[in-house]
Chains A and B, each alone.
Chain A
Amino acid sequence: MKNYQSWGRFPKIDSNKQDVYHVYPDSFSFPEFDEASSDNTSFLPYAQGRSYGDVCQNEEGILLDTQHLDHFIQYDKEKGTLRCEAGVTFENILQLIVPHGWFLPVTPGTKYISVGGAIANDVHGKNHHKAGTFGRYVLQFELLRSNGDRLLCSPTENSDLFNATIGGLGLTGLINWAEFSLKKIPGHQIEQETIRFNNLKEFYQLSDQSDKDWEYTVAWIDCLAKGDELGRGLFMRGNHCNSAKKLKFKTSKLSVPFDAPGFLLNKYTVSAFNKLYFKRPVKQFQKVDYNPFFYPLDAISHWNRLYGKKGFMQYQCVVPTEHREIAMQEMLMLISENGQASFLSVLKEFGNITSPGLLSFPRPGITLALDFPNRGQKTLDLLNSLDVITLKYNGAVYPAKDARMSPESFAHYYPNWKDFEPFIDPHFSSDFQRRVKPAPESKIQKK
């Protein structure tokens, strides 16, 4: 059933040829490596496959499927801490903790991700300006290295490896379990306000005003709007609130059963959608369940099939605050003129709370997330042009959503790589790593 593709389904892998090991609690061990013959078998943990590009792929090596690492281990309902195996999903966790008045400290836009993946990609969410990344809430985890070592990592124990593993793209070893702190909430609802803005300037005003009093902020933008309307969109902000009425869990009902034709999302359909979506009557204040607020797309399973068989590419970058006006303007102009439409374009201001993660993506500034149906070279060219702007303004691109950045761009975006490299497990690798860091010589360290 599992096909071991990434969520963007680009680059495509041949799942019949993909070697997979299943990891079971407390019983997994790596094979004996023949170090003398420079055995370069490489492993990479794989859980939900919700990374968009190739950070979750290891076509030349073996994937460690963590779906059976799905046990909770310890839950302190008073203090709000949870210890669980790495394959447990955010969905599993929410079902357990929300009835007790707890929530995830940080969550991305889907709950179908694993705890291991959340750490490896140091995920962020709509509360980055207030809370930082998920990695900040990790108290400790156990890391299984290919030499058989089981290392307890925390800010005080093996702290270097702890920092390298947070945002470490699964390259430092296999996380067996992790413990992290939860966030107290008054109820399972969100008080949400939606405000229409007509251009980027209005967005910055709204965003700056909202940072203090609103826990969650994010904006959808119409990336095809031009001229005075460049960067228009809908600003959404929300806070957890007390809810009198108990809403029942609604499980996802809709599904995209097969690949849509690749031309479905073109500039005309997206432009029409964007116009309607922008002009739709918005209820300014609304109390909603946390599911539609945080996870609107989770209501449609396999929504990635809307992009057709060839898949799609995401592009998420961050640009420092001092360049936000000019950089966003250049990017949005480039996109609206290019005519390749991004269906879901999201704008959000990151805060200055730093993560322990050595390779973490979020940094103070503005982040723009885009997705484009894969139209081959045309799409790659557009993303390369976006990279030129990101580089010019000293920004960075998010590996979890990338399938194409160049080694040169990566080196600029992640100068910490040199400090990170020594912590990579000699028998762990990924397609992403091989793509952005062509090995200078044999990457296998002798014992």
Chain B
Amino acid sequence: MSNILILGATSAIAKHTTRLFAADEHNLYLVARNKNKLSSMKQDMLVRGAKEVNYESIDLADEKQHEELIKRATEVMGSIDTVLIAYGTLGKQKKSEKNYANTLKELQINCLSVISILTIIANQFEQQGSGSIAVISSPSGDRGRQSNYIYGTAKGALTIFLQGLRNRLAKSKVHVLTIKPGFVDTPMTKDFKKGLLWVSPEVISKGIYKAINKKREVAYLPFFWRYIMLIIKAIPEKIFKHLSL
């Protein structure tokens, strides 16, 4: 049994991943904005086997609260063994192109606020000499594309940060996992036309669960995205800049 902190717990991917943790009888600490969703999620996790479930509703974009949040979660559970960071927004690319304030907001939520939490968690885990940090990044951080490079910038920076963190924390036996899910059919992507490459959040959650347990470093989910991105990354910039991706 271990103590797991889930940030952005009510997102579709996090909810399904948490269910898999619950079945393993772990202690859970759930954080998200929506209190109603958190309270039904708590009941659900208890039925599925979670030992103990606590939750609090805060806006994770607010960095000032991070220190206190991690402190409370540590106190309530005794310690933290695993953190899953799963919150974020897809943002509106077109809006950000015209408006820097909007870009800043996207970077703030999807990258800077996550780095703020990671800073606190990394130090805590480094000190305890153990722990697993799993963060949902994105394949869109692998290469900038006109359709969503603001989101891509945030996730790309996050991916680099996680790389560095992994390198730094390796000697402290702290595991850092970068998760890169492809197209997932969730409320966040409800306005997209869905094709063959789309998968359900359940599929992604199984991949995350496995990647955490097996202490993987980088997990493209489903696996084939690794190869899709290899190809996308291999296209020469001279050609790439003319593509509408």
Contact = CB atoms under 8 A, between A and B. Distances in A.
Interface string B192-213: 0010001010000000000000
B120 interface: no
Contacts of A75: 47
Contact of B43 (A24, A68, A71): A71
A73 B40 contact: yes
A26 B48 contact: no
A74 B47 contact: yes
A387 interface: no
A26 B185 contact: no
Contacts of B200: 1
- Counting chain A residues whose Cβ lies within 8 A of the other chain, the interface size class is 10 to 19
B194 to A, nearest CB: 4
A1 B198 CA distance: 8
Interface in A259-290: none
- How many residues of B sit at the interface, in one of the four size bands? 10 to 19
Nearest to B195: A1
Contacts of B34: 27
B47 A25 contact: no
B185 A1 contact: yes
B42 to A, nearest CB: 9
Nearest to B192: A1
B185 A71 contact: no
Interface string A16-29: 00000010111100
A410 interface: no
Nearest to B22: A72
Contacts, number: 36
Given A1-B185, A1-B194, A1-B198, A26 B43 contact: no
B36 A26 contact: yes
Nearest to B187: A22
Contact of B37 (A22, A24, A84): A24
A85 interface: yes
Interface in A23-71: 24-27, 68, 71
A96 B48 contact: yes
B36 A72 contact: no
B47 A72 contact: yes
B97 interface: no
Given A73-B47, A75-B47, A26 B40 contact: yes
Contacts of A25: 36-37, 40
B44 interface: yes
Contacts of B44: 71-73
The 8 closest A-B pairs by CB, nearest first: A72-B47, A71-B44, A25-B40, A26-B36, A75-B47, A1-B194, A71-B40, A1-B185
24 contacts: A1-B194, A22-B187, A24-B37, A25-B36, A25-B37, A25-B40, A26-B36, A26-B39, A26-B40, A27-B34, A71-B41, A71-B44, A72-B43, A72-B47, A72-B48, A73-B40, A73-B43, A73-B44, A73-B47, A74-B47, A75-B47, A85-B40, A96-B47, A96-B48
Given A71-B40, A73-B40, 15 more contacts: A1-B194, A1-B198, A22-B187, A24-B36, A24-B37, A26-B39, A71-B43, A71-B44, A72-B43, A72-B48, A73-B44, A74-B43, A75-B47, A85-B40, A96-B48
